[in-house]
Amino acid sequence: MDILSQFIVSPTATSTTLRKGGVLLKGKTRASRQPVHMMMLVDTSGSMDSNNKLESVKRSLQVMLLLLSEQDRLSLIKFDDASSVILNKVTPTTQEREAISYKIATLRTDGSTNMSSGLLDSRELVEATTERKQGLILLTDGHANIGVCDQEGLLRIVRQMMEEKPGLSITTVGYGVDHNTELLTEIAKFGGGGYNVVTDLNDVASTFGDVLGGLSSVSAQRVIVEFPPGYTVTTAYTKTTGDDGFIRVKVGDLYAETEVSILFEGSPSLGPIRITGTDMSTLSTFEHLIAPNLCTADEEFDVNFIMSEFRSRVADLLNLCRRGQGYTGEIRALLTEIRESARIATHPLTSFLIEDLAHALEIQESNRRMTQHEVTEMAQHSAYISMTRGLRTRTSQMPPPPAGLRRQRAVGLLDPGSPPAAPRAGASLSPSPSGFSNPGANDEEAREALFLSPTANAQQRQMASLMRSLSNDTSN
């Protein structure tokens, strides 16, 4: 794990002057694939019957099964009026795949939405081993209406799960635009995963691939960044302040080649920042004490910290906009500031910030009521911008960025290190000796997947595009 930490300080500042700064963590490249335990928690209530929602989930599960190795494990839990375990930590061997596939095919829709029962069943399936990364995907299209139904009660279950199973991460997938965005966003935040929105088969496949690619390329897990009393910390990750006054930011998983940045205000006199976690390549714990480096001007401040400041401000403003009117001036000012910032002009997220703010401004200026599609999309984009986890998808017809920006971004992402696309018909899906498949050259679909997730690593992009391509093949 690479670590960068900086303060901005004026030449006349004292050692106790509070200065703005940031901590940047970057996952180191993995030489081998991390075995995973994929736990799929699937809503099978009656509403999942519409628009072939459950059928697209089942098809994506069948495809994902092809990408798992014998070192992996797969669990499947369904919930409607009650929950039941369909697959319990099964090994996807060649002999077992047909039986697993049959169990997936038997999923049917019926009844209400007992999400709490599904979460409690999932908790019992988490393995104690550190050999496999534990990941839970919660996929639901509705609101909990039996069992524990209120948000605080459900989040209490999630918090307890994370305390008892610290190696677990939880990703949420909202199916359709009428799902409970607030609940699924908070579950993903506390669970250390991403919040995704899916509307069709391609979205489901890409999400499953992104999650599988991330879990199989985890560089470090249980990562916590701890600040001594006196620091002020700005982050979208779960943040707690202990009785001792120390502020602890739970980053959770750190994927290979990906970056996490945390902003703060502090001073050298407050003491060093402590970073702990587990190195997944050695399965050993680590601890780093770092004193931030000083820089005397914004020009010396790392561009990732400048972008983090903008991301935080844009995410906060989008959340305000989706709840009401009156933010036209703030949007215009922030848009101007971002467009005039030369430091982030070529950053891959800049055009996303501009696009989302421009769409929010159009809604505010028209003084019209936002559609449910727009509310859902704005919530998901806000979560993606703040944490850069999951896939940034479109559920409404947002105006695309200018063609030049789109081409520039695509070309930049498809330069050296770009992921291969899906295999041609008949190509082998067997893992290579290193554990990573090597399907072949890029295609337009892979380019679009990259366009939607510039912060993902090569393994996530590869898995997402492969899942998308194979899902399309099985649907034809």
For the chain, the structural domain boundaries read 36-216+413-475
> What average pLDDT does the structure give for the chain?
85
The torsion angle over the Cα atoms of residues 380, 381, 384 and 390, rounded to 10 degrees, is 60
pLDDT (tens digit per residue) in 448-466: 554 567 889 999 988 988 8
- Mean pLDDT over residues 325-338, rounded? 96
pLDDT (tens digit per residue) in 42-51: 999 998 888 8
Instruction: Check whether 403 has a pLDDT greater than 80.
Output: no
**CATH number of the structural domain 36-216+413-475:** 3.40.50.410
* DSSP per-residue letters across 374-421: HHHHHHHHHHHHHH--S----SS-PPPPPHHHHHHHHHHHTSTTPPP-
Instruction: Check whether 189 has a pLDDT greater than 80.
Output: yes
Per-residue pLDDT, 447: 47
Per-residue pLDDT, 472: 76
| Between 162 and 394, residue with greater pLDDT | 162
Per-residue pLDDT, 440: 38
**Rounded CA gap, 151 and 116, in Å?**
10
Q: State the pTM of this model.
A: 0.85
Per-residue pLDDT, 177: 82
- Mean pLDDT over residues 14-33, rounded? 88
- Mean pLDDT over residues 54-69, rounded? 91
Q: Quick one: pLDDT band at residue 409, thresholds 50, 70, 90? A: very low
pLDDT (tens digit per residue) in 336-349: 999 999 999 999 99
Instruction: Check whether 423 has a pLDDT greater than 60.
Output: no
| Between 427 and 391, residue with greater pLDDT | 391
Which residues are CB-neighbours of 406 under 8 A, at least 6 positions away? 351, 400, 451
Per-residue pLDDT, 216: 95
46 and 109 Cβ atoms separated by less than 8 Å: yes
Instruction: Check whether 395 has a pLDDT greater than 80.
Output: no
Per-residue pLDDT, 298: 81
Q: For residue 46, give the nearest of 146, 157, 194, 130 by alpha carbon.
A: 146
**Rounded CA gap, 385 and 194, in Å?**
11
227 and 198 Cβ atoms separated by less than 8 Å: no
Per-residue pLDDT, 158: 96
- For residue 250, list its beta bridge partners: 224, 238
